Structure 1
Amino acid sequence: MSIGRKEAVAVTVGVLLVVAAFVVPHLNLGIVTPLINSSPAQIKSFADTAPIFGWWNAHVGWGTVPAILIGAATVIWGASLAGRLPWRALTLSVWATSMLWAFSLAMIDGWQRGFAGRLTARHEYLNQVPTITDIPEAVRTFASRILDFQPNSWITHVSGHPPGALLTFVWLDRIGLGGGAWAGLWCLLVGSSAAAAIVVAVRALNGEQTARLIAPFVAVAPTAIWIAVSADGYFAGVAAWGIALLALAVRQTVRRPLLVAVAAGVVLGWAIFLNYGLALMAVPALAVLICASSWRGAVRVLIPAALGALAVVGVFVIAGFWWFDGYTLVQQRYWQGIALNRPFQYWSWANLASVVCAIGLGSVAGIGRVFDIAAIKRRSGLHLVILAALVAILFADLSMLSKAETERIWLPFEVWLTAAGALLPVRAHRWWLGLNVIGALLLNHFILTNW
């Protein structure tokens, strides 16, 4: 396989970033370390395998063989099947493959450690669920409980997100689906559906042929390690469908594009009440609007979408929660915790190394071809959305509000980057896809990830 100059540059930069991020913490360079002002025990707990949040632990598990088989089958037959399957069968197959791939990777760590117990940890949402006896009161007083060091403070993950995240798990509990296994299944189902959403969006923006090319890349993306199971996988799935619906409305490939535009706004509006950082999904959304046939067409979609999003905001305002109050207080809570000991001198670039690990070198190679002026000028949706995801990640990085754990936190943007593999020469797809699969398997087998 010959490697083009753009791919070679992108992969070289990606490899150097990852190597530096793993090696620098062991060079005793003072402030250019993952953690400062901390004991050896804290460093081991929070930065043992920086830039990935986890611990060195070579291991195998029940998921090892299925993960290898799913990855290998997708590499060998994925492209041919994606080219032959009827469209509806393809989207469902992409979702199913992504779900089984993610579940198999989780099961490498075992049922309890890798799946059922993930969302029951001390700082996770499920520990807060039993304390919610009055949902309206919880929403009404939500902002007042964000700051730390007060008797009624929310636990870490609840305080760091808008109330939608906690409400989701409370509602699951109320309908009889309580506990870590059900919560994990919810995150797995919604999170893995992001792969199908991306395929749907790319078909609307670039055509069916391109969508079929990206199918194998998004189906067995390394991001699956963190999609199963973390709440951020759920957030990624919701955001992906919001963008997909917006793409369908913009290209008017549905019967009622205005109604779909409203639905896109509602879904994206719900997304920002799951995660404050998903306000940055406005950047990929703008990229989709640019793909409209005219500025008037973009406005015709933007207005109903905005109304849909504002309706969600209005519901929360009526319930007693103002998004900007929560966002302001979350910034204060962020600096009350371990963020103070995570130096920007390291994480400003090590965050990007974790992104490389999360999307795989095959996707990194594809990103090398995203900076195509001709494609950008003709408003290629795939190019614009991937570039928008990169810009959103850059904003998140420079905000200093995402230091470490970004392989998980940035999942809503990273899942779009995995589609970049479709931009590579078709004859090389199998090799780059195989590199992604091997990278995911090695990472999951040698590092016991925290998420």
Structure 2
Amino acid sequence: MTRCLKRDLAAAAAAAVLVAVAVLVGHRIQREDGTLHVNWPPLSAVWEPHVGPGTVPALVLAVAVALWGPTAAARLRWGVLPPAVWGAATAWTFALALVDGWQRGVVERMENRHEYLAAVDRFADVPAALRGFTDHILIDSPDNWPTHVAGHPPGATLTFVLLDRVGLGGGGWAGAFCIVVGASVCAAVVVAVRALAGESLARGAAPFLVLVPGAVWMGTSADAYFAAVAGWAVAFLALALTGRSVWWAAAAGLLFGWACHLSYGLVLLGVLGAAVLLLGARTVSRRPVVVVLLLTGTAVVPVAFALLGFDWWEAYRLLVDRYHQGAGGVRPYGYWVWANLACTVLVVGLATVAGLRRAGGVARRARRSLRGAALGPGGGGGAQVPDGPVRLAVLVAGALLTILVADLSGMSKAETERIWLPFALWLVPACALLGGARGWLAAQAAVALAVNHCLLTSW
């Protein structure tokens, strides 16, 4: 066993210990005073070992991707790879959701009284609903919105209103929409990694994105849909900065503006966007145009909502008030500030933790190399670090910083296994830096299968 592999395994083991400690400490806190407000801390879930219609397909897909995924990702023509990743990720997510059965695993998740579908009938007059949206956010307001409607800008609910208007109403269609659209984020990440760090690393990351354990919560959760919108915003920005049409920046801006009207927390996508702009530093001549188009596109959605009567800032202020009123319970910061990270380990898997360790090593070597180059000959800078891994390390560092900001803000306490999907999935490309892909893919699948078969998650 090489020293590098030993360090990878040590990082994965440390992450597993973090999860175990979060489980043990969380159960003790919840048993003694009930302040965590989740049934199986740190996850919103209950202990219920079970199998279902999706068990066999999930096992077959896990084995197939682990054995043949790396080879297929390396050999497929590039134009075929992103759609193949999307299709395989969709199948994996559906299989995991169906472990709980179609009704319990998909339909009932979306028809829960706290979800968006509960408010669809109240949007018969959309402009009127938007003008009066802020009147129903606080817990003590008359006819207050269901939990998720109140907790998000109205773009989220409007999506399901639109589905209902075109004849795709109900939990089944809503769940299928979230799974199919949400799985496209995996293709978006592959596209962005290729543009920013090179095709070889994008191909290496592809099978890990397919088998990401976060698929447990992508099926079925509207946050999977949010992750896809955010993911394509980042991917389009990457395309605009790396030699493709600058008009991709306008598309990125439109999607970023829409993302901010799906979830307030997605304003933090700007941190990841800043990392992408940094990686586009080579295209200095086009960067001002890209930034202008990005900002112009971003302004379109907020202006449209404002003209229709929705005040984003007022709604967010009221949501913070609702949060401190005890919506979902007043959860202790001292536990969740680190237990949220344990949730993230379960979302991205142990292989991603090992990949992040490798990315950190790449960053350290690059810094030493730059320092040595600055000192000149004999400066002890060491070997030149390949550019692709360095750029990948910057991208995943941007995603990690986004998560840390969300965590330290205190506005993310519990349920981050779904809420952080738009950020956490950008950590997964670090797996492209690992050796022994098949073994790590098996570990990823094992985490997802264990969680989905031992626990009945809320999403």
Confirm or deny a common fold (TM above 0.5): yes
The amino acid of 1:240's aligned partner reads G
Q: Which residue of 2 aligns with 1:404?
A: 414
Of 192, 212, 217, the match for 1:226: 217
Give me the whole-angstrom Cα distance separating, in 2, the residues matched to 1:291 and 1:319. Answer: 37
Q: Which residue of 1 aligns with 2:292?
A: 303
Structure 2 matches for 1:34-53, cutoff 5 A? 34=30, 38=34, 46-53=37-44
Of 159, 162, 167, the match for 1:168: 159
Give me the whole-angstrom Cα distance separating, in 2, the residues matched to 1:297 and 1:36. Answer: 58
The range that moved more, 336-345 or 60-69, is: 336-345
Tell me the alpha carbon deviations over residues 109-149 of structure 1, each in whole angstroms, 9 at most, x when there is no partner: 01111012211001000011122220011111112221112
Of 390, 394, 401, the match for 1:384: 394
Give me the whole-angstrom Cα distance separating, in 2, the residues matched to 1:241 and 1:35. Answer: 42
Structure 2 matches for 1:177-196, cutoff 5 A? 177-196=168-187
Q: Which residue of 2 aligns with 1:322?
A: 311
Give me the whole-angstrom Cα distance separating, in 1, the residues matched to 2:33 and 2:130. Answer: 36
Query: CA shift at 1:4, angstroms?
Result: 3.1
The amino acid of 1:18's aligned partner reads V
Of 85, 96, 118, the match for 1:105: 96
Of 418, 426, 447, the match for 1:416: 426
The amino acid of 1:309's aligned partner reads T
Give me the whole-angstrom Cα distance separating, in 1, the residues matched to 2:366 and 2:315. Answer: 40
Query: CA shift at 1:52, angstroms?
Result: 1.0
Q: Which residue of 2 aligns with 1:434?
A: 442
Give me the whole-angstrom Cα distance separating, in 2, the residues matched to 1:308 and 1:404. Answer: 33
Q: Which residue of 2 aligns with 1:266?
A: 254
Query: CA shift at 1:205, angstroms?
Result: 0.8
Give me the whole-angstrom Cα distance separating, in 1, the residues matched to 2:274 and 2:168. Answer: 37
1:337 aligns with 2:326: yes
Give me the whole-angstrom Cα distance separating, in 2, the residues matched to 1:271 and 1:145. Answer: 22
The amino acid of 2:129's aligned partner reads A
Query: CA shift at 1:6, angstroms?
Result: 4.3
Contact 2:93 2:216 in 1 (8 A): yes
Q: Which residue of 2 aligns with 1:30?
A: none
Tell me the C-alpha RMSD between the 2 structures.
Answer: 1.7
Contact 1:206 1:382 in 2 (8 A): yes
Query: CA shift at 1:359, angstroms?
Result: 0.8
Q: Which residue of 2 aligns with 1:143?
A: 134
Structure 2 matches for 1:106-145, cutoff 5 A? 106-145=97-136
Query: Do the aligned partners of residues 322 and 329 (structure 1) sit closer, same or farther apart at CA in structure 2, a change above 3 Å counting?
Result: same
The amino acid of 1:222's aligned partner reads P
Contact 1:35 1:341 in 2 (8 A): no
Give me the whole-angstrom Cα distance separating, in 1, the residues matched to 2:103 and 2:43. Answer: 21
Q: Which residue of 2 aligns with 1:395?
A: 405
Give me the whole-angstrom Cα distance separating, in 2, the residues matched to 1:299 and 1:11. Answer: 41
The amino acid of 1:278's aligned partner reads L
Query: CA shift at 1:317, angstroms?
Result: 1.1
Tell me the alpha carbon deviations over residues 194-235 of structure 1, each in whole angstroms, 9 at most, x when there is no partner: 000011111111111111111100011101011111000000
The amino acid of 1:438's aligned partner reads A
Tell me the alpha carbon deviations over residues 231-276 of structure 1, each in whole angstroms, 9 at most, x when there is no partner: 0000001100000000000102x2xx22111001001110000000
The amino acid of 1:422's aligned partner reads A
Tell me the alpha carbon deviations over residues 304-332 of structure 1, each in whole angstroms, 9 at most, x when there is no partner: 10110011111111111122111111111
Give me the whole-angstrom Cα distance separating, in 2, the residues matched to 1:339 and 1:347. Answer: 14
Give me the whole-angstrom Cα distance separating, in 2, the residues matched to 1:16 and 1:268. Answer: 36
Contact 1:164 1:273 in 2 (8 A): yes
Tell me the alpha carbon deviations over residues 335-392 of structure 1, each in whole angstroms, 9 at most, x when there is no partner: 2234543111111110000000111101111011122224577584322221111111
Query: Do the aligned partners of residues 317 and 338 (structure 1) sit closer, same or farther apart at CA in structure 2, a change above 3 Å counting?
Result: closer
The amino acid of 2:307's aligned partner reads I
Give me the whole-angstrom Cα distance separating, in 2, the residues matched to 1:34 and 1:381. Answer: 42
Query: Do the aligned partners of residues 394 and 140 (structure 1) sit closer, same or farther apart at CA in structure 2, a change above 3 Å counting?
Result: same
Q: How many residues align?
A: 436
Query: Do the aligned partners of residues 341 and 36 (structure 1) sit closer, same or farther apart at CA in structure 2, a change above 3 Å counting?
Result: farther
Contact 1:370 1:420 in 2 (8 A): yes
The range that moved more, 206-215 or 59-68, is: 206-215
Query: CA shift at 1:295, angstroms?
Result: 4.1
Query: CA shift at 1:300, angstroms?
Result: 2.4
Q: Which residue of 1 aligns with 2:48?
A: 57
Q: Which residue of 2 aligns with 1:284?
A: 272
Give me the whole-angstrom Cα distance separating, in 2, the residues matched to 1:82 and 1:420. Answer: 16
Give me the whole-angstrom Cα distance separating, in 1, the residues matched to 2:283 and 2:261. Answer: 31
Q: Which residue of 2 aligns with 1:20?
A: 21
Q: Which residue of 1 aligns with 2:376?
A: none
Give me the whole-angstrom Cα distance separating, in 2, the residues matched to 1:388 and 1:284. Answer: 5
The range that moved more, 53-62 or 128-137, is: 128-137
The range that moved more, 334-343 or 81-90, is: 334-343
Give me the whole-angstrom Cα distance separating, in 1, the residues matched to 2:290 and 2:411. Answer: 31
Contact 1:283 1:392 in 2 (8 A): yes
The range that moved more, 371-380 or 141-150, is: 371-380
Give me the whole-angstrom Cα distance separating, in 1, the residues matched to 2:83 and 2:246. Answer: 25
1:368 aligns with 2:343: no
Tell me the alpha carbon deviations over residues 143-167 of structure 1, each in whole angstroms, 9 at most, x when there is no partner: 2221112222111000000010010
Instruction: Provide TM-score, normalisation by structure 1.
Output: 0.93
Q: Which residue of 2 aligns with 1:447?
A: 455
Tell me the alpha carbon deviations over residues 69-93 of structure 1, each in whole angstroms, 9 at most, x when there is no partner: 0011000000111111111211111
The range that moved more, 381-390 or 433-442, is: 381-390
Give me the whole-angstrom Cα distance separating, in 2, the residues matched to 1:369 and 1:251. Answer: 25
Give me the whole-angstrom Cα distance separating, in 2, the residues matched to 1:335 and 1:6. Answer: 42
Structure 2 matches for 1:208-247, cutoff 5 A? 208-247=199-238
Contact 1:34 1:342 in 2 (8 A): no
Query: Do the aligned partners of residues 367 and 186 (structure 1) sit closer, same or farther apart at CA in structure 2, a change above 3 Å counting?
Result: same
Contact 1:240 1:412 in 2 (8 A): yes
